[in-house]
Chains A and B, each alone.
Chain A
Amino acid sequence: MAAGGHSGMVERRGASLWLTHAGLILGVLVIVFPIWLAFVASTVTQAEIVRPPMPLLPGDQFLENYRKALVSGINAPVATMLLNSAVMALGIAFGKIAISLLSAFAIVYFRFPGRRVFFWLIFLTLMLPVEVRIVPTYEVVARFGMLNSHAGLILPLIASATATFLFRQFFMTVPDELVEAARVDGARPMRFFLDILLPMSRTNIAALFVILFIYGWNQYLWPLLITTDPQMNTIVMGIKQMFPSGDDWADWPVIMATSILAMLPPVLVVIFMQKLFIRGLVESEK
């Protein structure tokens, strides 16, 4: 990974430097402004929000609003919803990684009848997003009695053709000699998997974890369908549930506080895992 060959890069100066920076700053403002507004709205009172013009600077209700959201919420305490979301996102991320690692291992390293068929079956499911198979899936989960449970939230989303495919591609780049060296060393297949393949895959696992955690965290339709008990709501769908039906007034400061809280874990995962991910990249260099 010799990436150090760009010492002769053209030095940028003058107008083009200012222009590019202006463009970047403008772009950041466009993206950050709504989030800033949401943050401001989560720190003021309901009265201040509904009286135009909307405030642009944070108010003094930060602690009060966030305490209210976390402890009581509207239908269910946001703390509970955060916990549900965390369980679901972590369950999906770890479950998907474990299953796809093992199935990719089977497909790449074992010759069994129908190997190709199984691979293409897995590959085909890539084309079926959750929404397409949601009715039969709901039926299955309901009959297993898994409505309003963490298992019901996690299990139907746990198989991943994408991750299996990714690990398959990675395993195929592992030199055959390494497999043979392990065989000569006396490693049985699972030993090889655990001692050699798994540690070698850790950068891929870290990258996938980030993607899958966010995928799980942002699930909306599926939790909306199978959790009727507010105690099982996840935060992303919970925000929607906070909007009143009919003529009730929406408690905007609390809803905005919830939104900010919902955003934090994925951001933290990205920031934390990015370090791990880059370190992993550097370490696994051949």
Chain B
Amino acid sequence: MATLSLTGVRKSFGATEVIHGVDIDVAEGEFIVIVGPSGCGKSTLLRMVAGLETVSSGEIAINGARVNEREPMDRNIAMVFQNYALYPHMSVFDNMAYGLKIARRPKAEIAERVTEAARLLQLEPFLKRKPRELSGGQRQRVAMGRAIVRQPDVFLFDEPLSNLDAKLRVQMRLEIKALQRKLGVTSLYVTHDQVEAMTLADRMIVMNEGHAEQIGAPLDVYERPATVFAAQFIGSPSMNILPGEGAGDAVVLGNGARVPVAQRAEGKVLLGVRPEHLVLDPEGAIALETGTSEPIGALTLVHGRLEGSTLDCVASLPGVHRESGLPAIQRFSVPPGLAHVFDAGNGRRLAG
């Protein structure tokens, strides 16, 4: 159990800066998810905490002690890799025991800790097998077992579920969450999947091009996204962004529609509306020329264009709506409290 803090952490490869200063204090036992598109620097950040990449400037501290210059093994961290990185010639037992063997722990202790981890992960029947004789999910568990037996201060996960099929991913996601709760180990988890981020995180770091766009609890980020990027990255399908003109308590869209909002909007703004917050309303301000609709069962995604413009817009409606049953122009309204207003210049959320 440990705290982890990053202070002004930057990383440059040659002249190119790829991480532009990240600050966060992680509390004991907290589960932090770093989420962002590929190339945003999230893996680099994780690898800097692991000690696999050097830190160009700033400080990484575990339990208050600076670890920038320490080798990975001296940081008391454990890492789960994207492709599991199991030693192919070693049995499951040896894979999990390798770190402890190097640390010269007594044989009895190693056996006890590995058996305990195997029990926890339901790997007991497979201890003698080689990694290639295991399924993807089992390999994933071995990789986690290898992390657990070291009893580290911090768990680091580098997109651990991206190689699993969709069903297994959901299952392993729950297992990781339950396991982390049970062990109470401070964790840093990198993913590009916003669903994983939403479901796993105590707090998430939304990263874009080396910047931490927003750090906060998943629902806070969902309800009050700090930037257009965070707004569009979190939530699926992603938020509709409609340019308009601020008119105090409303936003006037390009086609003249006046959408009431709860924020104070002045000047050029971007109106953000989540598809699930568009409500069917014959009197609504937002009129869509309906196009394709995607029935998913519990809900229907209606794709369309804002009337009189070329702006694509998606509405997520509960229940089944057949394409043939939708009018050519469908009007929606949005509850003022659920509309988001961003500055059109810098993409930041407007206060108030």
Contacts and interface: CB of A to CB of B under 8 A. Distances in A.
B78 interface: yes
Interface in A177-231: 177-178, 180-187, 191, 195-196, 199-200
B132 A178 contact: no
Contacts of B73: 183-186
B85 interface: yes
A284 B88 contact: yes
A187 B102 contact: yes
Q: Is the interface of B mostly helix, strand, loop or mixed?
A: loop
Contact of A191 (B50, B52, B102): B102
Contacts of B301: none
Contacts of B71: 183
A244 B121 CA distance: 76
Contacts of A285: 132
Contacts of B77: 184
A175 interface: yes
Contacts, number: 63
B351 interface: no
B85 A186 contact: no
Nearest to A199: B89
Interface in B15-34: none
A277 to B, nearest CB: 16
B81 interface: yes
B72 interface: yes
A6 interface: no
Contact of B72 (A177, A184, A284, A286): A184
A175 B85 contact: yes
Nearest to A285: B132
Contacts of B146: 181, 185
A180 B89 contact: no
B79 A180 contact: yes
Nearest to B143: A181
Interface in B122-160: 132, 146, 150
B88 A185 contact: no
B83 interface: yes
Contacts of B52: 180, 183-184
Contacts of A180: 50, 52, 72, 79, 81, 85
B132 A286 contact: yes
A246 B246 CA distance: 113
Nearest to B97: A185
A182 B132 CA distance: 18
A220 B82 CA distance: 52
B87 A184 contact: no
Interface string B33-73: 00000000000000000111000000000000000000111
B149 to A, nearest CB: 10
Interface residues of A, number: 20
A56 to B, nearest CB: 52
Contacts of A175: 83, 85
B50 A185 contact: no
B132 A185 contact: no
Contact of B85 (A177, A187, A286): A177
Contacts of B84: 177
B103 interface: yes
Contacts of A181: 79, 81, 85-87, 146
A36 to B, nearest CB: 44
A177 B89 contact: no
Contacts of B87: 178, 181-182, 195-196
Nearest to A1: B132
Contacts of A183: 51-52, 71-73
B89 A184 contact: no
B98 interface: yes
A244 to B, nearest CB: 55
B61 to A, nearest CB: 19
Contacts of A195: 87, 98
B99 interface: yes
Interface in B68-114: 71-73, 77-79, 81-89, 98-99, 102-103
A178 B95 CA distance: 11
A136 to B, nearest CB: 42
Interface in A140-189: 175, 177-178, 180-187
A175 B103 CA distance: 24
Contacts of B51: 183
B78 A184 contact: yes
Contact of A184 (B79, B88, B103): B79
Find the residue from A175, A183, A186 having the highest chain B CB count within 10 A. Answer: A186
B89 A185 contact: no
Given A186-B73, A200-B88, A177 B83 contact: yes
A182 B102 CA distance: 10
A284 B83 contact: no
Interface string A4-18: 000000000000000
4 nearest interchain CB pairs? Answer: A186-B73, A177-B85, A181-B85, A185-B99
8 contacts: A175-B83, A181-B87, A182-B87, A183-B52, A183-B73, A185-B98, A185-B99, A195-B87
Given A184-B79, A186-B99, A186-B103, 18 more contacts: A177-B81, A178-B85, A180-B50, A180-B72, A181-B79, A181-B85, A181-B86, A181-B146, A183-B52, A184-B72, A184-B73, A184-B77, A185-B150, A187-B102, A191-B102, A195-B98, A196-B87, A283-B89
